Amino acid sequence: MLEGALRFARTWEGALGLLLLILGAAVALLAPLLVPGDPLEIAGRPLTQPLANPALPLGTDRLGRNILAGLLYGARSTLATAGAVALMALALGAAVGTLAGYVGGIVDEALMRVADAIQTVPAFVLALALVSVLGPSQTTVVLALAAGAWTAPARVVRAQVLSLKSRAFVEASRLFGRSPVAVAFDVVLPNALGPLIALAAVIVANAILLEAALAFLGLGDPNAASWGAMIAEGRTVLRTAPHVIVAPGLAVMVTVLAVSLLGEGLSRALEVSE
């Protein structure tokens, strides 16, 4: 484990990704200290240019809201949403995959057909339809994105269960009277951990991009600062004040990049250790 962590820190992708993410998380947590007050409140004259006012280093948008505040609070909602999506998708996927792999037969068949169907529906269109029907809020966005993301972890866990089911050490622990659930947690999950961690990075990166796209189309939580909504807002003043869309777009890009690099570093560290 420690060896793996060291190997991870030595891949430049992993180190850089981790550094950027820690920075992003710190900024997100400290947002209320760095820019006190509601990020959706008016903070100055509308469309202040960046660097024109020291109190508003990134300027303001069409309504006079502080762009730096939007950026920092946007990091909070983005990271919280994407993290929640990944947790939900992994938990649901692990549960479905374990069930399908262990029980087999018609249960397995039915669950996998459902997974097929969900993987065939374009994920963004699925999320669009769900959020539009359920009403936009942070909860519905998380549910809608997780609904399309659990299938890949489910397949990974199912394959792992199937390959381990008949191995001697699993049978042995069953013969000792362990319940299938306990066996799943003790034996199957640790073995599937590597691919699941790599998948988690992909899910988080995708969730950030999809959440931003939903907010861009007006399907984000109206009460939370969001990078996608900031870009949508800046669209109307694109010609005169491009600074409004530049900062939130860069924020999305750097965050997604950090998560992808982290995922790449992790999977490379795990590849070598196997």
Binding site for another protein (CB under 8 A): 113-114, 116-117, 119-126, 128-130, 132-135, 205, 209-210, 212-213, 216-219, 228, 231, 234-235, 238-239, 242, 245, 249, 252-254, 256-257, 260-261
The closest of 69, 52, 20, 6 to 259, measured between CA atoms, is: 20
We find the least distance from the C-beta atom of residue 73 to another protein, in angstroms, to be: 18
Nearest residue (CB) to another protein, 135 versus 177 = 135
Are 47 and 62 spatial neighbours (Cβ–Cβ below 8 Å)? yes
We find the least distance from the C-beta atom of residue 120 to another protein, in angstroms, to be: 5
We find the least distance from the C-beta atom of residue 250 to another protein, in angstroms, to be: 9
List of residues 6+ apart from 62 with CB closer than 8 A: 46, 47, 233, 234, 236, 237, 241, 244
**Strands, E assignment, 14-152:** none
Owner of token pair 């939580």: 221
Nearest residue (CB) to another protein, 30 versus 125 = 125
We find the least distance from the C-beta atom of residue 140 to another protein, in angstroms, to be: 12
Nearest residue (CB) to another protein, 111 versus 157 = 111
Nearest residue (CB) to another protein, 170 versus 232 = 232
We find the least distance from the C-beta atom of residue 32 to another protein, in angstroms, to be: 26
We find the least distance from the C-beta atom of residue 135 to another protein, in angstroms, to be: 8
Nearest residue (CB) to another protein, 184 versus 219 = 219
> To the nearest 10°, the Cα dihedral for 53, 59, 63, 69?
-100
List of residues 6+ apart from 154 with CB closer than 8 A: 92, 93, 94, 96, 97, 100, 111, 115
State both tokens at 11: 């891949």
Nearest residue (CB) to another protein, 157 versus 210 = 210
Are 169 and 112 spatial neighbours (Cβ–Cβ below 8 Å)? no
Owner of token pair 């189309």: 217
